[in-house]
Structure 1
Amino acid sequence: MHSIDLRVGKRLLWVGGAAYPLQNITRVYTFTMQPRRKEAAFRFFRRTAVTLAVALGLTITAELVRMADRGESSTTGLLTVIWLVAGAVVVSSAVSMFSVLGAPPQYVLAMETSGPSIAMVTSADARQLDRLVEPIVQAIENPEAEFQVKVEQLVVNPNNYYFGDNVNMYGGSGNVGVGHS
């Protein structure tokens, strides 16, 4: 964990080294990001199945080539390399999966802007983040407001977490989006 400054001054919200104009902030809220455990497990099983299928296919092809040469060529070295690479891919996929399975839910303070950007701060102390919502909103309403606070920030890989609510859409095709509570 490391700490970052969260401060408001001169109509800007600073989150670490990033500045957001207060007039562009449309929403300030807290929520809990949940790890994508099910997707991580499915991704592991899919990668493992594809890897083993490719390794088995290459093994069969190598054996057929050896048999066509009437056993004159040796495929032992090639087969060793194929299965070592397959093993490395499976181990790497397992490490990736277990890093997500072991990840705890993270409490987040999020600030959305009128554009596509969003600022997020995570902390082990959910109450601290809850207490920050009101001063940020007051700073948006009051141009003279200024404050600064240090926030202990946890480093989070956003690809391993859900952001906001799941939204079910009926009708249409190819709809992609993120919903927030």
Structure 2
Amino acid sequence: MPRPGGVLEVAVNQRMLWIGSAAFPLENLTRVEATKLKPQRGATFLSFVKWLALTGVFYVVVIAASESDPDVKDNGNPMFLVFVIGLAVYFIKELFEPAKPILAVETAGGSLAVVTLPTVDELRTIAGQIVHAINHPEAEFTAYVNELNNYNGPVFNQNGGTNTGIKL
């Protein structure tokens, strides 16, 4: 992954796909796809419910432990309210997060490389160049991904072996 403000190079050179410093032989690629990765809203909701339940249990324990203190019993614990508001803000932010454009490159060995950019069109162009290079052995190209074009920076994530998930 490049340093902030740096450049990530995606290139095909001598039948090898280079994504940053990772190299993939073109004949081992099984999937090249530019798509939008949708947020897991169900998992976000379950996480929210879990944290809300844990907060509720903690609140009940605090109230039970401070039974002799009338201020806590009458006014409640303001930290509970602050935590619930923070949890709700986080949940709403995650719930309305837009789909993230990704370029997924998968190999026959189970490795997966993921590159993100602000738009799917840019990723489709790169995917088309990779597919063209697979079908035409003489083809070579280089694309540069600047971190300045994306508020989060381009992300390169590689998973292999038994890890089948994408974590961006």
**TM-score in terms of structure 2 length:** 0.67
1:11 aligns with 2:15: yes
2:57 pairs with 1:53: yes
Matches within 5 A, 1:35-74: 35-63=39-67, 66=68
Whole-angstrom distance in 1 between the partners of 2:79 and 2:104:
41
User: Among 97, 108, 111, which residue is 1:117 paired with?
Assistant: 111
Classify 1:128/1:59 alpha carbon distance in 2 versus 1 (closer, same or farther; 3 Å). Answer: same
The C-alpha deviation readout for 1:87-111, integer Å capped at 9, x for no partner, is 5653553353233224221222211
Q: Considering only aligned residues, what root-mean-square deviation do their CA atoms show, in Å?
A: 3.3
TM-score for both structures, normalised by structure 1: 0.63
What 5-or-longer segments of structure 2 have no aligned partner? 156-163
Alignment deviations for residues 102-135 of structure 1 (CA, whole Å, 9 cap, x no partner): 4221222211111232112222232222222222
Alignment of 1:18-29 (within 5 A): 18-29=22-33
Instruction: Count residues with an aligned counterpart.
Output: 147
Q: Following the alignment from structure 1 to structure 2, what is the Cα–Cα distance between the partners of residues 131 and 123?
A: 12
Shift of the alpha carbon at 1:85? 5.7
The match for 1:71 is none
List gaps (5 residues or longer) in structure 1: 67-73, 159-176
- Superposed displacement of residue 136, structure 1: 0.5
Rg (Cα) greater in structure: 1
Is the 8 Å Cα contact of residues 5 and 149 (structure 1) preserved in structure 2?
Answer: yes
